[in-house]
C-alpha cells in the first residue's frame, strides 16, 4: 500500500481505556474525588451510571435547615438510599450546624455502621446559638468492623457512655477533639474500653478553667503504641491547677505532649517508650512568670521526666528548664538510654536548658538545638545576661559518645561562640558539627565559620559545616 492509499484510510477509533478498567480500579480512582463529583460521573455513559454507588469512600458536608432549607440533608438522604447495600470503607460526615437535622444524623451514622464501615470521621461544628443536642447512637460503640474513629465534638454533642463489655472490639485508632471541660468525664470512658487501641489523639480546648478546678483524664489501653495529647486552657492560675492525666500504657512507644499549662502526668508501665516530644512553648505567654508558678512548673517537669526516662529520642520545648530568674533547684532523672536530643526555642537569656540536659544524658550521640529564636521568659530584656556558663564538670556524653551536633538559629554572638568553642574542646568523638546561621550576611557568616575552624578540637575527625 502506497502513501496515497494510507492517507485515505479512516481515522482510527479512539479507545476509552479508563472505562475498560475493572470496577475495583475505577472505584479506587473515584475515591480520591469529592463525593459530589464522583456522583456526577453517572452522566458519562451507561458504563458509569451506577459506578458511584460502589465507591468505598464517602464524604458529606451538611448544613442545617436554618441555612439551606434542608437541601443538603435531603441530598444525603437520597445519596445513601441510592447507594443500596454496597460497603462503605471510609465515611466522613461534617455537620456545620445541628438545628433541624438532629433526627437524621444518627440515621446516617447507623447506615454507615450497617455497611461495614472501617474508618469513621464525625465532625460537628455548631453555632453558639444552636438549640438542639445530639446523642451519639449506642450502635457506634459496638460496631465490629470499625478500626479508625475520629470524633470532633462540639458544644451540643453528648457522648453516650459506652457499654461495659464488647465495646470497640477492633478499634485501633481514636482521635477525639473537644472544646469544653464537661466532656472530660464522658470521653475518658472511651479511653478505657478499647482492647485493640494502638493510636490515641486527645485534642482538647478546656476553655476558661476556674482557679482550683480539678480535671482527671484516665487512659487504660494495654496495646496503645502512640499517644498524642494537645491541651489548651484560656486562663488559669498556673501554680494552683489540678489537672491529672493517668495513663496505664505498657506498650507505649511514641509520646507527643503539647499544652500551655503543664498537667500532672502519670505514665504507668511505659517501659517501651522510644520517642517523646514535649512542647510547652506557649506556657505563660500572657503571664508574668511569677517564680512560684515557675517552680510549680519545674516540679511537674521533674515528675514527667521521671516517667519517660527510658526514652531513646527526645524533643523538648520546655522554657522553665532554663529560666534565669529563679534559683534552679531541679533534680532531673538520668536518661541512660537517650541517643538523640532535640532542644527547640532555647531561651536566648540562658544556656541552662542545654547544660542541664547534657548532665543527665550520659549516652547521648546526636544533639540538635535551636538558639536565639526568642526569649520565653517574660522579663525586661535589659536585665537579661547573654552569657555562656559552662557546667562545673564536663558532661560524660561529651567525653565518651557524642558524635553529631546541629545548631540552628546561630547569630554569632559572643555567648554562642563560647558555647561552640566549649563543645569542640570537650567532644572527643565528635564527627560532625553543623551550624545553620540566622539572619546573617554571607560575609559575616564566612567570618564566623573561619573563626570556629580555628577553635581547638578534641576530635581529629570532626568536620565543621556552616549553612547560611
| Structural domains of the chain, with CATH | 334-377+386-468 (3.80.10.10)
Query: What string of H, E and C letters represents the secondary structure of the chain?
Result: CCHHHHHCCCCCCCCCCCCCCCHHHHHHHHCCCCHHHHHHHHHCCHHHCCHHHHCCEEEEEECCHHHHCCHHHHHHHHHHHHHCCCCCCEEEEEECCCCCCHHHHHHHHHHHHHCCCCEEEEEECCCCCCCCCEECCHHHHHCCCCCEEEEECCCCEECCCCCCCCCCCCCCEEEEEECCCHHHHHHCCHHHCCCCCCEEEEEEEEEECCCCCEEEEEEECCCCCEEEEEEEEEECCCCCCEEEEEEECCCCCEEEEEECCCCEEEEECCCCCCEEEEECCCCCCCCCCCHHHHHHHHHHHHHHHHHCCCCCEEEEECHHHHCCCCCCCCCCCCCCCCCEEEEEEECCCCCHHHHHHHHCCCCCCEEEEEECCCCCCCCCHHHCCCCCCCCCCCCHHHHHCCCEEEEEEECCCHHHHHHHHHHHHHCCCCCEEEEEECCCCHHHHHHHHHHHHCCCCCCCCCEEEEEC
Residue 426 pLDDT? 96
In the three-class reduction of DSSP (H, G, I as helix; E, B as strand; rest coil), residue 101 is classed as coil
Closest CA to 297 of 273, 315, 281, 313: 281
Are the C-beta atoms of residues 255 and 275 closer than 8 Å to each other?
yes
pLDDT (0 to 100) of residue 45? 78
Q: 3-state DSSP call for residue 464? A: strand
200: β partners: 174, 227
Question: Within a 13 Å sphere around the CA of 119, how many CA atoms are in the beta-carbon half?
Answer: 7
- Please state, as a whole number, how many other Cβ atoms lie within 10 Å of the Cβ of residue 265: 24
Write down the pLDDT at residue 422. Answer: 96
For residue 180, what pLDDT is reported? 66
Give me the pLDDT at residue 43, please. 74
Q: Say what the pLDDT of residue 166 is.
A: 81
Q: List the pLDDT tens digit at each of the 468 positions of the chain.
A: 455 545 555 555 666 777 878 878 888 888 888 888 888 887 777 878 777 888 889 999 887 666 666 688 888 898 899 888 899 999 999 988 787 788 899 999 999 999 999 999 999 876 655 667 788 888 999 999 999 999 988 777 776 677 777 889 999 999 998 876 666 667 777 787 888 999 999 988 877 666 666 777 888 889 999 999 998 877 554 445 577 888 999 999 999 998 877 778 888 888 889 999 998 876 554 444 555 566 667 777 888 898 999 999 999 887 767 665 555 556 788 999 999 999 886 655 568 888 889 999 999 999 998 876 555 444 444 444 567 888 889 999 999 999 999 999 888 888 889 999 999 999 999 999 999 987 788 888 888 889 999 999 999 999 999 887
The pLDDT, as a whole number, for residue 23 is: 78
**Contact assessment for residue 101 and residue 109, using Cβ atoms and an 8 Å cutoff:** no
**What's the pLDDT score for residue 127?**
60
Residue 81 grid cell = 438510599
Alpha helices in 84-168 (DSSP H): 102-114
So what's the pLDDT on residue 126? 64
Amino acid at each position: 500500500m502506497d502513501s496515497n492509499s494510507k492517507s485515505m484510510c479512516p481515522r482510527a477509533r479512539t479507545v476509552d481505556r479508563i472505562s475498560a478498567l475493572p470496577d475495583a480500579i475505577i472505584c479506587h480512582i473515584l475515591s480520591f474525588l469529592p463525593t459530589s463529583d464522583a456522583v456526577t460521573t453517572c452522566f458519562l455513559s451507561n458504563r458509569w451510571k451506577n459506578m458511584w454507588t460502589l465507591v468505598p469512600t464517602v464524604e458529606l458536608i451538611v448544613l442545617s435547615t436554618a441555612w439551606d432549607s434542608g437541601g443538603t440533608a435531603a441530598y444525603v438522604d437520597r445519596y445513601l438510599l441510592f447507594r443500596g447495600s454496597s460497603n462503605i470503607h471510609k465515611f466522613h460526615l461534617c455537620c456545620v450546624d445541628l438545628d433541624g437535622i438532629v433526627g437524621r444524623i444518627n440515621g446516617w451514622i447507623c447506615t454507615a455502621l450497617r455497611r461495614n464501615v472501617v474508618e469513621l470521621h464525625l465532625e460537628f461544628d455548631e453555632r453558639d446559638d444552636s438549640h438542639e443536642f445530639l446523642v451519639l447512637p449506642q450502635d457506634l460503640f459496638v460496631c465490629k468492623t470499625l478500626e479508625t474513629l475520629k470524633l470532633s465534638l462540639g458544644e451540643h454533642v453528648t457522648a453516650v457512655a459506652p457499654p461495659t463489655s464488647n465495646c470497640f472490639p477492633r478499634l485501633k485508632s481514636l482521635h477525639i477533639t473537644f472544646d469544653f471541660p464537661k466532656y472530660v468525664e464522658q470521653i475518658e470512658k472511651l479511653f478505657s474500653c478499647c482492647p485493640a487501641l494502638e493510636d490515641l489523639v486527645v485534642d482538647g480546648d478546656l476553655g476558661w478553667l476556674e482557679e482550683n478546678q480539678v480535671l482527671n483524664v484516665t487512659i487504660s489501653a494495654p496495646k496503645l503504641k502512640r499517644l498524642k495529647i494537645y491541651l489548651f486552657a484560656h486562663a488559669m492560675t498556673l501554680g494552683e491547677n489540678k489537672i491529672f492525666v493517668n495513663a496505664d500504657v505498657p506498650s507505649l512507644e511514641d509520646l507527643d505532649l503539647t499544652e500551655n499549662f503543664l498537667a500532672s502526668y502519670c505514665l504507668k508501665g511505659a517501659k517501651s517508650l522510644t520517642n517523646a516530644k514535649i512542647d510547652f512553648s506557649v506556657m505563660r505567654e500572657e503571664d508574668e512568670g511569677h517564680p512560684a508558678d515557675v517552680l510549680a512548673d519545674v516540679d511537674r517537669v521533674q515528675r514527667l521526666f521521671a516517667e519517660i526516662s527510658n526514652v531513646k529520642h527526645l524533643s523538648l520545648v520546655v522554657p522553665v528548664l532554663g529560666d534565669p530568674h529563679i534559683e534552679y533547684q531541679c533534680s532531673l532523672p538520668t536518661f541512660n538510654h537517650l541517643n538523640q536530643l532535640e532542644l527547640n526555642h532555647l531561651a536566648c537569656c540562658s544556656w541552662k536548658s542545654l547544660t542541664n540536659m547534657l548532665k543527665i544524658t550520659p549516652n547521648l550521640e546526636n544533639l540538635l538545638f535551636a538558639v536565639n529564636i526568642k526569649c520565653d521568659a517574660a522579663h525586661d530584656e535589659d536585665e537579661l545576661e547573654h552569657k555562656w556558663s559552662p557546667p562545673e564538670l564536663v558532661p560524660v556524653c561529651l567525653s565518651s559518645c557524642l558524635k553529631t551536633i546541629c545548631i540552628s538559629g546561630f547569630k554569632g554572638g559572643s555567648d554562642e561562640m563560647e558555647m561552640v568553642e566549649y563543645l569542640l574542646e570537650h567532644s572527643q568523638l565528635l564527627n560532625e558539627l553543623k551550624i545553620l546561621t540566622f539572619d546573617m550576611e554571607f560575609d559575616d557568616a564566612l567570618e564566623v565559620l573561619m573563626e570556629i575552624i580555628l577553635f581547638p578540637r578534641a576530635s581529629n575527625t570532626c568536620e565543621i559545616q556552616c549553612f547560611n
